[in-house]
């Protein structure tokens, strides 16, 4: 923190801002505040220019090689879970997925598209040491993933946030909506982002309306693609819980898989009928 004071000025008061990495801080001087972060991605500058995160004020490189970014402090609040259904959230997500500037910057930073074939091979490898016949819901989910895999190929690749939850959506006191915490950003099928919001925040009977708000309801094979990511993410969480020897967590994911396996079949059939 001493290095931060040297970069910013000794008259500033600097406090940890919380978070998982411990690299975020709040700086204050004479009722002026800045949000500081250590070693943010250069991607932040484009996000700021696009109005997706609070305005980037400056970037400084420290003597030890660390890069400090300062953003405008935003007075506001995190969204509540129920607010994730607001059309404005869908509109912001659509803006991000359409942005060529964001896509080009991630590609310049060396990000490669993550394909469903790569992800399928990864999850099969993680499950290879597991006798999946002992877990019928896992076995059924893998069969569904394999069955849906051809329908997920050759899709448009866009910038995906990768960690869409209500804590990362901030509404300023002026009413502007921001999406923060881009550490998990990737290039992938936008259905990956859709699946995260649908699973956690949107009742199944409202899925179609929410996708229409995003302007993507008519995309090719969209129900199958969303279903694929719903299953994949749940299987990945199951593997994580297994690695941690978290029996209760494993059981919770198995119950989630059981629900998804039946829900997805219904979702695909309903969407096909429409």
Q: For the chain, what are the domain ranges?
A: 2-73, 86-273
Q: Is the pLDDT of residue 86 over 50?
A: yes
What is d(CA 269, CA 256) in angstroms, rounded to the nearest whole number? 20
- 22-31, 79-88, 229-238, range with the lowest pLDDT: 22-31
What is d(CA 156, CA 225) in angstroms, rounded to the nearest whole number? 12
Q: Is the pLDDT of residue 133 over 90?
A: no
Active site includes 189?
no
What is the model's pLDDT at position 273? 47
pLDDT in tens, 146-190: 999 999 999 999 999 999 999 999 999 999 999 998 988 999 999
The three-class DSSP label of residue 68 is strand
Q: Which whole number is the average pLDDT over 217-239?
A: 91
Whether 155 and 189 have beta carbons less than 8 Å apart is answered as: yes
Q: Which whole number is the average pLDDT over 207-230?
A: 88
| Largest pairwise CA distance in the chain | 66
In the structure, what pLDDT confidence band is assigned to residue 94 with cuts at 50, 70 and 90? very high
Q: Is the pLDDT of residue 269 over 60?
A: no
Q: Which whole number is the average pLDDT over 89-110?
A: 94
The three-class DSSP label of residue 238 is helix
The percentage of residues in the chain with a pLDDT greater than 70, rounded to a whole number, is 92
Q: Is the pLDDT of residue 76 over 70?
A: yes
- How many CB atoms sit inside 10 A of residue 238's CB? 27
Q: Which one from 23, 66, 86, 163 is the annotated catalytic residue?
A: 163
In the structure, what pLDDT confidence band is assigned to residue 12 with cuts at 50, 70 and 90? confident
Tokens representing 247 are 């029996």
Structure-token match 């629900």, residue found: 259
Structure-token match 């869409």, residue found: 164
Fold of 2-73: Phosphorylase Kinase; domain 1 (3.30.200)
What is the model's pLDDT at position 262? 81
Q: What kind of architecture, by CATH, is found in domain 86-273?
A: Alpha-Beta Complex (3.90)
What is the model's pLDDT at position 238? 94
Whether 257 and 235 have beta carbons less than 8 Å apart is answered as: yes
Is residue 10 classed exposed, middle or buried when 0-12, 13-18 and 19+ CB atoms within 10 A define those classes? Answer: exposed
Q: Strands 24-29 and 13-16, how do they pair?
A: antiparallel
What distances in angstroms separate CA 110 from CA 41, 106, 129, one per listed residue? 12, 7, 32
Rama region for 187: left / alpha / beta (φ>0; ψ in -120 to 50; rest): beta
Q: Is the pLDDT of residue 10 over 60?
A: yes
Mean model confidence pLDDT for the chain: 88
In the structure, what pLDDT confidence band is assigned to residue 22 with cuts at 50, 70 and 90? low
- How many CB atoms sit inside 10 A of residue 78's CB? 14
What is the model's pLDDT at position 215? 85
Q: Is the pLDDT of residue 228 over 90?
A: yes
């Amino acid at each position: 923190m001493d290095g931060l004071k040297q970069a910013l000025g000794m008259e500033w008061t600097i406090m940890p801002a919380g978070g998982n990495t411990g690299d975020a801080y709040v700086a204050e001087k004479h009722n002026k505040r800045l949000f500081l972060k250590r070693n943010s991605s250069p991607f932040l500058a484009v996000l700021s220019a696009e109005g997706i995160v609070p305005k980037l004020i400056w970037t400084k490189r420290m003597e030890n090689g660390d890069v400090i970014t300062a953003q405008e402090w935003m007075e506001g609040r995190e969204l509540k879970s129920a607010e994730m259904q607001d059309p404005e959230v869908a509109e912001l997500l659509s803006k991000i997925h359409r942005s060529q500037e964001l896509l080009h910057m991630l590609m310049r930073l060396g990000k490669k598209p993550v394909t469903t074939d790569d992800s399928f091979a990864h999850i099969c490898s993680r499950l290879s040491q597991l006798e999946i016949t002992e877990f019928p819901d896992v076995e059924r989910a893998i069969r569904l993933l394999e069955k849906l895999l051809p329908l997920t190929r050759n899709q448009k690749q866009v910038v995906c946030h990768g960690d869409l939850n209500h804590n990362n959506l901030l509404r300023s006191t002026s009413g502007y909506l921001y999406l923060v915490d881009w550490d998990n950003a990737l290039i992938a099928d936008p259905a990956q982002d859709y699946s995260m919001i649908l699973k956690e925040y949107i009742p199944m009977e409202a899925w179609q309306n929410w996708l229409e708000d995003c302007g993507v309801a008519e995309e090719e094979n969209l129900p199958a693609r969303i279903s694929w990511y719903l299953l994949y993410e749940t299987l990945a969480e199951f593997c994580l819980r297994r690695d941690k020897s978290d029996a209760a967590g494993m059981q919770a994911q198995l119950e989630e898989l059981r629900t998804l396996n039946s829900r997805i079949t219904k979702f695909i059939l309903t969407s096909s009928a429409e």
